[in-house]
Amino acid sequence: MAKIKKAVIPAAGLGTRFLPVTKAVPKEMLPIVDTPTIQYIVEEAVQSGIEEILVITNSYKHCMENHFDRSYELEEHLANAGKNEELKMMNDISSLANIYYVRQKEPRGLGHAVLCARSFIGDEPFAVLLGDDVVVNNGGKPALEQLIESYHETGASIVGVQSVPEDQVNKYGIVAPSKSHKPVGRRVKLTDMVEKPAIDKAPSRMAVLGRYILTPQIFTFLSSQKPGAGGEIQLTDAIKRLMDLQAVYAYDFEGIRYDVGDKFGFIKATIDFALERDNLKDQVTAYIKELAQSL
C-alpha cells in the first residue's frame, strides 16, 4: 500500500470573517500567541510523516512563502547579537518540510482548490489539511497521523470528524454512517455526506473538520464537479460521488479542535496556547482570575 507522503493545504480564501486585518494580512498568518496558524498546520503534517506540502494560495499571500523561507539578513543579525535560541527557531521553520506553492486563480471553492494540486499529487493517495482547524492532542498522536493509520488499515479515503452540537450542524459537512457496517474502533463506513444541511435534515452530528486522506481517484470527480452550496465546487460533493466507486470512511479523531476561522474560536485558541507557555502561564492565569472577579 502506498505511503502518504504528500499533503495539500488550501490557503487561497479571502478571510472575510476577519476583516479588516485580512485586507492586508492573510488569515493563515494571524498569530496564535506568536506563531502563525499555518505553521501549526505544517508542523502537524510533518509530525504525521508528510514529506512534501503544496500550499494552494493566491496573488496577495507572499508573506506565507516568506515565512517558511530563509531570511539571511535576519539570521545574520541574530547570529551577530548572540541570539542563538531565536536563530535556531528561524532555521527550524525554514527546514520544516519541502513546501511548494500554486495559485488558485479564482475563488471557486475548496473542491477547485484541491483540484489545483492534481499535477503535484499525481497517482498517489494524499492528505488535505484545512488551516481553519487547529487540533491539539497533547501526549497523543496528531490528528492527521490518526487518519493515516486508518488509511493503512483500509486502503480507502478517510475524512476526519468530530461531533458538533446539533444547532451547529448547518455550518459543516455532515456525514451519514452506514447502518449495515459496524464501527471499528473510532472508524465508521459512510453512505453519504451533506454540505451544510438544514438542522432538521442532518444525517448525524459528525462534522468533517478539516482533515482528509484521499485516493487520487478524487480528481476524476473534482474535474467534472458542478458548483454546489454557495455556487462553489465543493469537495464534499466529489467525495459523495467517490463513494459510488470505492469505500469512504470517517475517523473520529482524538484531540481538542479549535475553529480558528471563527473569532471566538481564535480567542479560545490564543488563551489556551498561552496557558501552555511557561513564560506566560502565570501572567495569563492571574489576569483571567482578576477579570473573572470584575464580571
Mean pLDDT by 10 residues, the chain (295 residues): 90 89 92 96 97 92 91 94 94 92 87 95 96 91 96 96 92 89 92 89 92 96 85 89 94 95 95 96 96 90
Residue burial 76-114, b: 16+ Cβ < 10 Å; e: rest: eebeeeeeeeebeebeebeeeeebebbebeeebbbbbbb
- Closest residue by Cα to residue 232 from 105, 57, 102, 106: 106
Structural contact between residues 245 and 218, judged by C-beta atoms closer than 8 angstroms = no
Per-residue confidence (pLDDT) for residue 229, from 0 to 100: 73
The per-residue pLDDT for range 118-160, each reduced to its tens digit, is 999 999 999 999 988 999 999 899 999 999 999 999 999 999 9
How many Å apart are CA 22 and CA 16, to the nearest integer?
Answer: 7
Structural contact between residues 31 and 130, judged by C-beta atoms closer than 8 angstroms = no
Structural contact between residues 292 and 48, judged by C-beta atoms closer than 8 angstroms = no
Per-residue confidence (pLDDT) for residue 230, from 0 to 100: 75
Q: What is the pTM of this model?
A: 0.93
How many Å apart are CA 214 and CA 248, to the nearest integer?
Answer: 9
Domain boundaries defined on the chain = 6-261, 263-295
Residue 268: enclosing H or E segment and its boundaries? Answer: helix 263-275
CATH number for 6-261: choose from 3.30.870.10, 2.30.40.10, 3.30.360.10, 3.90.550.10.
Answer: 3.90.550.10
DSSP annotation of 184: B
Burial class (CB in 10 A: 0-12, 13-18, 19+), 32: buried
- Cα-based distances in Å from 184 to 150, 187, 200, 243, 254: 10, 5, 28, 19, 15
Three-class secondary structure of residue 262 per DSSP:
coil
How many Å apart are CA 190 and CA 173, to the nearest integer?
Answer: 13
Q: Which three cell numbers stand for residue 110?
A: 475548496
- Cα-based distances in Å from 98 to 9, 51, 93, 95, 201: 13, 7, 11, 8, 43
Per-residue confidence (pLDDT) for residue 59, from 0 to 100: 80
Per-residue confidence (pLDDT) for residue 233, from 0 to 100: 87
Per-residue confidence (pLDDT) for residue 72, from 0 to 100: 93
For cell 482547524, what's the residue?
133
Q: How many residues does the chain have?
A: 295
> Residue 20, preceding bond cis, omega within 30 degrees?
yes
Per-residue confidence (pLDDT) for residue 231, from 0 to 100: 79
